[in-house]
Amino acid sequence: MVSIIACTMRDQMMDNVFANYARQKWETKELIIILNNDRMDLNNWSNRAKKYSNISIYQLPEEKTLGDCLNFGISKARYDIIAKFDDDDYYSPYYLTEAMTAFKKTGAEVIGKGTSFLYFEQNDLLTLYRQGLENKDGSKFLKGGTLMFKKSLFPKIKFPSQKAGSDSHFRNQCKENNVKMYSTSRYNYVCLRRADLTSHTYQLPPEEYMKNCEVVETTKNFESAVTKRFGKK
């Protein structure tokens, strides 16, 4: 019942993209991968996909924006719920299960995380980003990498054909159309920040992020600290 869409311009994120999908305990799912770099080898990704089930891979010209890629992915989705996965973040085994539980309990059409964990790889620092936005109605700070929504919103509400700000535009469109949005818990997702800022789409330095962060711990293995079980499995 969930169509995951992962857009990527980086071959080095292949392992992470497939691992995030395979890790999910939610069983009825598909993964739609959109390659957005002309130098990427579609065959390499397709060969890896053979190890899993329900994976489709497409390649769009690199002049296409992230919004274009996401809208294309939505048009190919088979299921009623769309989940936007970033290629370089961490999604725990219970990520989809938590979100699907929230859809059922709240009646929301858009689910995401306002408060989330953020991990700085250069100094093994796990932090909590934007506290106070858990388990409540609202939309202002739902992180783009955590957006899940009902496919029925599309195409009335879709991502803009622009290089930056596609997530905020989507949220604003939802707000203007009185779409109910809900922020789940801090758990089961981690935004990963690498030392090389040029490897990120948003190249905000750590000191700027830290203005909205509280230190949780220094660790090389954050998985247990960020995972909360949902569902029967």
pLDDT above 90 coverage of the chain, percent: 86
In angstroms, rounded to a whole number, what is the distance separating the alpha carbons of residues 58 and 25?
A: 25
Fold of 2-113+133-186: Spore Coat Polysaccharide Biosynthesis Protein SpsA; Chain A (3.90.550)
For residue 21, name the pLDDT band (cuts at 50, 70, 90): very high
pLDDT at 233: 60
pLDDT number for residue 164: 82
Kindly list the domain boundaries of the chain, sorted by start residue: 2-113+133-186
Q: What is the pLDDT of residues 172-222, one digit of tens each?
A: 999 999 999 999 999 999 999 876 555 556 556 667 778 889 999 999 999
pLDDT, position 198: 52
Task: Write down the pTM of the prediction.
Answer: 0.94
Torsions phi, psi for 72 (to 5 deg)? -60, -45
The CA distance from 130 to 214, in Å, is: 8
Looking at residue 205, its pLDDT comes to 67
- At 146 the three-state DSSP class reads helix
Per residue in 66-107, pLDDT tens? 999 999 999 999 999 999 999 999 999 999 999 999 999 999
Alpha carbon separation from 138 to 93, 110, 141, 146 (Å, rounded): 25, 10, 8, 14
For 206-217, letters b (16+ CB in 10 Å) and e give: beebeeebeebe
What is the Cα–Cα distance from 199 to 46, expressed in whole angstroms? Answer: 24
